[in-house]
Amino acid sequence: MPNFRPDDFHGIHAILYALFDEQEKLDRAAMRRQVEICLATGVHGMAALGLATEVAKLTEAERRTIMDWTAEDIAGKVPLAFTIFGSSVAEQVAQVRHAESVGADWVILQPPPVGSYGAPECIRFFGRVAEATDLPVAIQNAPAFFGRGLTADEIRDLVTLHPNIRLVKGEGPVTDIAGLIERTEGRIPVFNGRGGLELIDNFRIGCRGMILAPDCIDLAVRAYEAFRAGNEAVAEAEYAKILPAAVFVMQGIENLICYGKRLFGARAGVPIHDRAPAMRPNEVGLAMVERFASHLGKLPG
């Protein structure tokens, strides 16, 4: 397998949905199919165990299982990242160890899902986990979703203290991400998400790439490749196709999991089942999913 370095991380990376069967168990065949489809779109990287993967609903054993399956199915074709979830340093380090064992190329640390602590405590927490691995480490900074986060200056201090924290995974409007890139003087590659909202402007301000759920991943890849080739008109046209669906699904994380996952399923021909507790779709939302899926067409692969 190739050894990818942080300089290789760019473009559109797919963050996998957790796909369940009718008994609410992880569906091995559906998860493999999801990876195959993402690879067929030409994604520049893959990730799993983020918010779109419903990581908080998974047991620790299930998180390890998803790492095993994803690494097996990707087989080193593109850089692979795992988001690290856990309420203590020890739990997160154990997850990092498993990510290392299956050949992850980088890890993305989430803030611990307990309590409400100031920046110094978060910085110490992230630093202790980062020091436990030689893998490149990213920090997921998503205050809108987690209810807490670090400022651009605090992120700058964190990466200065811990040199292997080499990337940032943001979840914010392009105006905020631009400030982060400016305050870190462009030294730290930044990825954004938010379902691809403001996609082309994220590239314009210097985002290294985007980490997106796979419902519209094919068009995002085409938009990025057009932008990179200097054809902004084509990039904007591809983004325009995505935008209505992105606005629809990105009304919050639960909305993304409910309707974004169903949009992926409709385009991929993959049945979608929820794991309780879950936001349940209604007739209006399902009709919108059907309309967007018809407009966007089938996913490749």
Which tens digits make up the pLDDT trace of 86-135?
999 999 999 999 999 999 999 999 988 887 788 889 889 999 999 999 99
Q: Which helix (H) or strand (E) covers residue 47, if one does?
A: strand 45-48
pLDDT 10s digits, 225-257? 999 999 999 999 999 999 999 999 999 999 999
Whole-structure pTM value: 0.95
**DSSP per-residue string spanning 166-203:** EEEEE-S-HHHHHHHHHHTTT-S-EEE-GGGTTHHHHH
Q: Binding site: what residues are annotated?
A: 211
Identify the domain containing residue 174 by its residue range.
6-296
Q: Is residue 195 part of a domain?
A: yes
Task: Give per-residue pLDDT as tens, 30-40.
Answer: 999 999 999 99
User: Residue 142: which CATH number?
Assistant: 3.20.20.70
The pLDDT, as a whole number, for residue 2 is: 64
**pLDDT confidence of residue 159:** 85
Q: Is residue 1 part of a domain?
A: no
Is 212 part of a structural domain of the chain? yes
Give tens-digit pLDDT for 243-294.
999 999 999 999 999 999 999 999 999 999 999 999 999 999 999 999 999 9
Q: Please report the sign of the dihedral spanned by the C-alpha atoms of residue 119, residue 122, residue 124, residue 129.
A: negative
Rg (CA), the chain: 18
Write out the two tokens for 154.
């605090």
Q: For residue 174, is it within any domain?
A: yes
Average pLDDT of span 159-182: 90
| Beta carbons within 8 Å of 203's beta carbon, 6+ residues apart | 224, 227, 228, 235
* Tokens, residue 167: 């990337």
- Please, what is the end-to-end C-alpha distance for the chain in angstroms? 23
Residue 114 forms part of a structural domain: yes
178, part of any domain: yes
| Residue 301 belongs to some domain of the structure | no
Chain-centroid distance of CA 73 in Å reads 18
Q: Which residues are within 8 A (CB) of 110 and not within 5 positions of it... i.e. 6 or more apart?
A: 50, 55, 83, 84, 85, 140, 146
Angle at 197 between CA 56 and CA 187, to 5 degrees: 80
Total number of domains in the chain: 1
42: phi > 0 → left, psi -120 to 50 → alpha, else beta; which? left
**H or E segment to which residue 215 belongs:** none
User: Closest Cα to residue 144, out of 177, 110, 172?
Assistant: 172
Contacts of 274 by beta carbon, 8 Å cutoff, 6+ apart: 20, 24, 258, 280
Binding-site residues for pyruvate: 211
Above 60 in pLDDT, residue 296? yes
Q: Is residue 44 part of a domain?
A: yes
